């Protein structure tokens, strides 16, 4: 949660939490208590994200965002609502951080001189081996 990208931003006031009955572990507790937590974050109307960051989040997390521009994350693995709420907040920060982290550009590399020489030597030996096999037929 302490990444440089989202450092100093507290998204919690912009998050909406909904609780409902879970299908996870808990026995009778599942039938009685609303432990499943849905986190909803309105990406389009967020004050903390810049317009460029909103575009990136909408593009990279498109599968988790509804048509209305609302990011939905669910947690129902824990037996208590509080733990599911903490888990869903952790998931949210991890997703936002991953989405906003720029991808490293690949710098093309070249093979070393020794690796080129080894490859050519191996090719020469293989060629030599095959020419020796072409002996005269009996």
Q: pLDDT means per 10 residues in the chain (138 residues)? A: 65 85 69 85 88 90 89 87 91 90 90 96 95 78
How do the domains of the chain map onto residue ranges? 12-100
Burial of 15 (0-12, 13-18, 19+ CB in 10 A): middle
Q: Is the pTM of this model over 0.75?
A: no
The per-residue pLDDT for 13 is: 83
The per-residue pLDDT for 1 is: 44
Q: Cα(119)–Cα(15) distance, rounded to whole angstroms?
A: 58
The per-residue pLDDT for 134 is: 86
Domain 12-100 grouped into CATH 3.30.420.40: no
The per-residue pLDDT for 2 is: 46
């Amino acid at each position: 949660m302490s990444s440089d990208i989202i450092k100093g931003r507290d998204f919690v006031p912009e998050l909406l939490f909904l609780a409902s009955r879970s299908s996870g572990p808990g026995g009778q507790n599942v039938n009685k208590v609303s432990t499943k937590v849905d986190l909803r974050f309105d990406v389009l109307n967020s004050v903390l994200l810049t317009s460029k960051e909103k575009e990136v989040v909408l593009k990279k997390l498109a599968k988790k965002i509804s048509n209305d521009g609302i990011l939905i994350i669910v947690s129902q693995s824990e037996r208590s609502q509080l733990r599911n709420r903490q888990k869903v907040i952790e998931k949210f920060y991890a997703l936002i951080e991953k989405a906003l982290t720029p991808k490293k550009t690949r710098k093309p590399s070249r093979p070393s001189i020794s690796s080129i020489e080894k490859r050519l030597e191996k090719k020469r030996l293989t060629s030599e081996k095959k020419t020796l096999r072409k002996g005269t037929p009996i």
